[in-house]
Amino acid sequence: MKLWSKGTANTEKKIEAFTVGRDREFDLMMAQFDVQGSIAHVTMLGETGIMTAEDSKRAVEGLTTILTTISSGSFSIDPEAEDIHSQIEMMLTKAIGDAGKMIHTGRSRNDQVAVDIKLYLRSALKEVKSNALALFDLLIEKSEAYKSVLIPGYTHLQIAMPSSVGLWLGAYAESLVDDMELLKSTYSIVNKNPLGSGAGYGSSFPLNRSRTTELLEFRGLHYNSIYAQMSRGKTEKLTSMALASIAATLSRLSMDCCLYMNQNFGFIGFPEELTTGSSIMPHKKNPDVFELIRAKCNRMQSIPNELTLLLNNLPSGYHRDMQLTKEILFPAINELNDCLAMMHLMLSSLQVNARVLEDKRYAFLFSVEAVNALVNQGIPFRDAYVQVGKMIEQGTFSFDTSKGLHHTHEGSIGNLCNDEIKKAMQKAIADFS
C-alpha cells in the first residue's frame, strides 16, 4: 500500500527499494509518535466537522488500540506497506472500515513525517537530558568527595600548578551545564508544531492547527506553512549540534581518564572488571571503555557537518534528501545515551591516588606558590618571578607544603563553588517540561 498510489502502474522494484532505503528501520522508532500525531489530527477533524463525530471517535479508538500494540512490542510493518504511515492507515481501515481511509484528510506525508520527527526528538532530548543530569550529579558527588586530593595541573602537557581531583571533575560538571543550555535551546525549537502545513502550502480544509498544538502539548506552532516544512532538516541539524556539544565533553573527559590511569601518571584507577587485558601482556589494564567513548563521541561531532552538506543547497519546499536525516541522526542519539551510561558506570567505581604529589617530579608544581609567597613579603612580582626562576635553574628550589595551600577565590581548589554549579544546572534544565 502506498499513500500516493492512484491504482495505476506499479513502481519499478529497484526504484522502490532505493527510495524506501532504511525508512522502515527508523519508522519503527517513530511508530508511537506517528499514532499520537494521527490521534490529534482526527480529533481535530471531528471537532471541526471535517469528519463526523462518530467516525472521528471510531478512528481515535482504533488508533489507541494500535498504540497499545506498539507499546507491547508486537508491532511490525508489513512488507506490502511502504512506510509507517501506510501501515497504520492499513491497520486502521481493516479494523474500523472506510473511516480509516479518512485520517489523511487535510494532511500530507510531509507534515506527518515532520510532526513524527518533532515528537520523537522531543522525547529523545528529554532522555539525553536525564542521562546527562545523572552523570552531572555523579561528577559533583565525586568532586566533593575528592576535593582535598591534590594532583598536578597541566598546560601544554607540562606540569603547571596544583590542581585537585575535585577541581578536575567539577570542571566537567560545569561543562555539562553549558551543554544543557544548548540542549534546552534546541528543545525549545523542537517543541513546535508543523502539523497542518500539508506539503508546505497548507490546506483548503478549515484545519484548527492551534488545537492539534494543544493536543500534542507543543509549546507553539510553526505558523508559516512553508517554513514548517523548511524546519525539517534544520531541526535535526540543531539537535545534532546540541548532541555534539555533550559528545565533546565526554570525549575530553575520556582522554583525561586514559592519561590519568596511565602508569606514568597514576592519578586514578578502576577495578579490573571495568578494564580489559592483553593477549600477551599479563600486566595490562586497558582503558577500552574510555577509548571507545572518545572515538564514538569524536565521530558524533562530525554529524552537524554531515547534515550541513546534506541540506545546504536545498531551495524551499520538501525534497526527498530529507529522508536521510533520520539515518544520520537517530543512531547517534542512541549512541550518545550509551556513552553517557558507560561514563557513569566507570566513574561510579573511580579509584583515586591520594599520594601523587609525594613524587619529587612534581616539585616545580609549587613554583607559583613560591613566587606568591615572596610577593606577600613585599617583593614585586616580577622580581619574585626572576628570583624563583634562578633557584630552579640552580637546582636549589624547594617549597614547604606542610602548611597547606590557601586558594580561596571562586572556582579555585579551595573553593570549588559546586553549589553554584548545581544551581546553574537546575536553571538550565528548568524549561524541559
- Which residues does the annotation mark as catalytic? 156, 278
What is the SS3 assignment for 175?
Answer: helix
d(CA 211, CA 45) in angstroms, rounded, equals 10
Dihedral of the alpha carbons of 413, 417, 419, 422, in degrees to the nearest 10: -100
Alpha helices in 191-323 (DSSP H): 209-215, 225-260, 288-300, 303-311
CB 159 within 8 A of CB 364: yes
What is the SS3 assignment for 269?
Answer: strand
* Radius of gyration of the chain, Cα coordinates, nearest whole angstrom: 29
Nearest residue to 320 (alpha-carbon basis) of 173, 199, 195:
199
Long-range contacts of 352-358 (CB under 8 A, 24+ apart): 352/146, 352/149, 352/165, 352/267, 352/268, 352/269, 353/149, 353/266, 353/267, 353/268, 353/269, 354/149, 356/149, 356/150, 356/151, 356/152, 356/266, 356/267, 357/150, 357/151, 357/152, 357/162, 357/401
d(CA 311, CA 251) in angstroms, rounded, equals 27
* Residue in this structure with the C-alpha cell 617549597, named with its chain if needed: 399
Residue count (the chain): 433
d(CA 118, CA 123) in angstroms, rounded, equals 9
Q: Where are the beta strands (DSSP E) in 124-251?
A: 150-155, 158-164, 192-193, 220-221
Question: For residue 159, with 0-12 CB atoms within 10 Å meaning exposed, 13-18 middle and 19 or more buried, which class applies?
Answer: middle
Question: For residue 66, with 0-12 CB atoms within 10 Å meaning exposed, 13-18 middle and 19 or more buried, which class applies?
Answer: buried
* Residue in this structure with the C-alpha cell 582535598, named with its chain if needed: 148
